[in-house]
Structure 1
């Protein structure tokens, strides 16, 4: 990762850290739409494959457009973080075809049969299925614990030496529960346990998990980093550069490489990250306050409300609470369906982090692959609605929600 000491704010880094001298002094990062790269001679090809000479070989292994995006995201996640000697924190980023692919590379490079992954309730549905349905087929166990109970976490690590990783979503999907990343990392480090953080909901603008001791951070770049819903992608970042070489090897073998054109769209989206996140968060606060006061709403899960159990933790750990929330309707499933069907402007769609406001029903959509009892333990009732607040006029958002609630 390049050091850019001239940047005093993340907004500047998001725009200029992606600039490159590739492609005939092109203003924007070029799209390198090529599957393979040529060699000047046989020796150069051998040297690149052996790693003794720089250069690209094959786009599954690396691509110039992808490399620029990786350096950009690493710059943002490490922005302003220094090591004990005062030097900038070096990070390695690996861009993938999706967030799921990035997550798979991370887990499969760091755990093996007989190992255990410790995590918490209220995870993204795909993550839950990967940990509890997919990994057990290969002898890996997943264990759920209350990561807010730090004494209990430490006792688990003392007792179960098979725990090799702790995986955190903070804020979590869709409960918006937050975990004290610094406290968990401190305990995990004492037992040589790695900590990974899904930072998709927060983005590096709102939260930097490496600042609190995380070993790995990953995002579904499809969401707020891209910001426009134009491309699927994922990124994994790590601070142990030698370990990331191992992860890179795993990623290549799994084949979940990023697409250069999708990467180009990602880079363009990131340039407005700070501006977008400020407005997303401002709109979200107004929406959360409206829902909290509405007679038809039983509960609002938003870490920016004082009623949320992690309100104070979120305020310490994040710049702003974010732009995603969930709320429970008093009349359950029927009320949820009626509400979604009556929307006029807000968009009925899964995913999140786009310019427009997206509304979904977790129990029947994003988390439908989970067993009902697991969903309920995670707080996902049949009347729960998830909303990713967009950048429309907040008055228009509120007007649509009000008429849909009836």
Structure 2
């Protein structure tokens, strides 16, 4: 079945007792044993729950993986993956990754649990220079957050295989419908299900999908040991959100392209970051390894930080808020919001300046989004004072 059909039917056959179309929520901490040492497949919700299993099976099938684990948050998904590595392992990560990812990696490095190198993974020479004998994984965000750089997954996978490393891809910005990293050599795919997979800004969650059964078994053991697994009601919400993912993504992308084209022609905007624009440096690569360009747009505003603040305060449809991927449009300032925890020198190396504004373009009417940006950008334009007569 096509993904759109598979998602519409997701979880539909979970209830064998009454055949409900909507999957039931097994809101229980524990399960009664049939007999000593005998269960119906579940004993304690941290170790497994039917509602969570329905979500995990849906994500694994959608991604083309062997299995998945649903976690309490996107950061819990990252924590679960990082717990797979022995102390002293070296990881290479995209230098313009999500601020929370950078914060956790740096914390673990300070604690002596892992060592980390941040590199521009769009540059093969930078990746080659970062490899060490103790390197155990390469962590890629593509498109990256917030500058939407595109990394060649096949090229990075070749390097990972040559050095016996895992390739881990954060696919949050695109979802399995717009990019399937396993096709290009990834071993693990990480999500914040809070974002597009749920799509309604009413749940916080994460997931990790494994390419092989062996990796999936290790993930399940680790998540159970750490207690990072998602709760049943949260899983139910994500599963419900997934049913509309294909139609939502189409509208997100249509609006994002219109917004990017509008900003690209606006005199107050210095540069637009959106892979769907032909002028984007990663456009051709994105067309090859993605089936859509997504709903995220970032841009650099001409002017000062005060001008940026005026734009952020002026929008009426775009809400000033962190996060992304919900049906509503959001505007945020990475340097002081989503990437505030990133070290200032790291932000500078990644190109995340004070002039960068990130948009999560929602599914509202396109003309309302453009009108909102028009009136907001107007406040940043310099005021011309007539010369005295």
Q: TM-score range by the shorter chain?
A: over 0.9
Provide the C-alpha distance between the structure 2 equivalents of 1:310 and 1:60, rounded to a whole number of angstroms: 41
Contact 2:10 2:243 in 1 (8 A): no
Q: Deviations over 1:98-125 (max 9, x none)?
A: 111011111111x222211011211000
1:115 to 64, 89, 114: 89
Give unpaired runs (5+ residues) of structure 2.
379-389
Provide the C-alpha distance between the structure 1 equivalents of 2:218 and 2:61, rounded to a whole number of angstroms: 21
Contact 2:190 2:207 in 1 (8 A): yes
Which structure has the highest helix share of the two? Answer: 1
Over the aligned positions, Cα root-mean-square deviation in angstroms equals 1.4
1:153 to 127, 131, 134: 127
TM-score of the superposed pair, with normalisation by structure 2 = 0.94
1:380 to 352, 362, 370: 352
Q: Deviations over 1:269-302 (max 9, x none)?
A: 1011111111110110000010111111111111
* 2:331 counterpart residue number: 359
Matches within 5 A, 1:43-122: 43-44=37-38, 55-78=41-64, 90-109=65-84, 111-122=85-96
Q: Does structure 1 residue 131 correspond to structure 2 residue 105? A: yes
Give unpaired runs (5+ residues) of structure 1.
1-6, 49-53, 79-89
* 1:175 counterpart residue number: 147
Contact 2:68 2:207 in 1 (8 A): yes
TM-score of the superposed pair, with normalisation by structure 1 = 0.90
1:38 to 20, 32, 36: 32
Helix, strand or coil at the partner of 2:111: helix
Helix, strand or coil at the partner of 2:191: strand
Helix, strand or coil at the partner of 1:281: helix
Provide the C-alpha distance between the structure 2 equivalents of 1:138 and 1:61, rounded to a whole number of angstroms: 29
Contact 2:178 2:290 in 1 (8 A): yes
Contact 1:332 1:384 in 2 (8 A): no
Provide the C-alpha distance between the structure 2 equivalents of 1:281 and 1:155, rounded to a whole number of angstroms: 36
4+ runs deviating over 4 angstroms: none
1:12 to 5, 21, 45: 5
Helix, strand or coil at the partner of 2:299: strand
* 1:87 counterpart residue number: none
Provide the C-alpha distance between the structure 1 equivalents of 2:312 and 2:3, rounded to a whole number of angstroms: 36
Deviation at 1:133, TM superposition (A): 2.5
Helix, strand or coil at the partner of 1:25: coil
Q: Does structure 1 residue 237 correspond to structure 2 residue 209? A: yes
Q: Deviations over 1:219-254 (max 9, x none)?
A: 100000001111111000111212222222211122
Provide the C-alpha distance between the structure 2 equivalents of 1:146 and 1:348, rounded to a whole number of angstroms: 29
* 2:387 counterpart residue number: none
Contact 1:181 1:209 in 2 (8 A): yes
1:294 to 251, 255, 266: 266
